[in-house]
Amino acid sequence: MLSRPQDVSNLTWLYKIFMVQYFTKDGLQKLKDELHYLKTDKNKEIVKLIAEAAAFGDLKENSAYHDARDKMSFLRMRIAELEGAINEAIVKEKDGSNKIQVGSEIKILFNGEEQNYHIVAPGEADILKNKISYQSPLGEKLLGRDAGKEFDFQAGSKMVKVKILEIK
């Protein structure tokens, strides 16, 4: 059995392992830009809303005031979330190998159809822009593979063939 100090340090170590977030350089910059915007412009906007709503009088029954306070709470939560992600972020760029990794742009044959994707961190993923997370089911299967490799992938209820055509 571990002593109390070791238990705490082991938990801290495990926490750090699981809380590390990988980002591309661009993805991390987008988070920093959003954080800056929220702390400056958006915060001022909500403070102004709270002040205007408070000027209407009785705060107990003032729905505009309560709505503005809710917006401030959500803003603070998002700021804390972004700060946590930025503090735990590790910039992961391609290392020069020919294997699929975070930052790779790939062309695959997915069930007979050519598709292009960019492998990114979960916070950067946007399927409408063909950016898939390295933690997504497809992203996990692609990581570490070379061009020319084929594998079967469970897409919903059916199994499809995936062939890696090109890695940039």
Instruction: List pLDDT tens digits, range 94-142.
Output: 777 889 998 899 999 998 999 999 999 888 899 999 999 999 999 999 9
Count: domains in the chain: 2
Long-range CB contacts for residues 140-144, cutoff 8 Å, separation at least 24: 142/100, 142/106, 142/108, 143/100, 143/101, 143/119, 144/99, 144/100, 144/101
Q: Are 23 and 124 in contact (CB under 8 A)?
A: yes
Domain end marker among 42, 65, 91: 91
Domain end marker among 68, 91, 114: 91
pLDDT, position 24: 85
pLDDT, position 58: 78
Q: Which residues of the chain have pLDDT under 70?
A: 1-19
Instruction: Please identify which residue in the block is written with the tokens 């961190």.
Output: 121
Quick check: pTM over 0.95? no
**Residue 48, domain extent:** 4-91
CATH of the domain at 75: 1.10.287.180
pLDDT, position 8: 47
pLDDT, position 62: 86
Based on the fold, state whether residues 79 and 47 are members of the same structural domain: yes
pLDDT, position 19: 61
CATH of the domain at 131: 3.10.50.30
**Does the residue 80 lie in any domain?**
yes
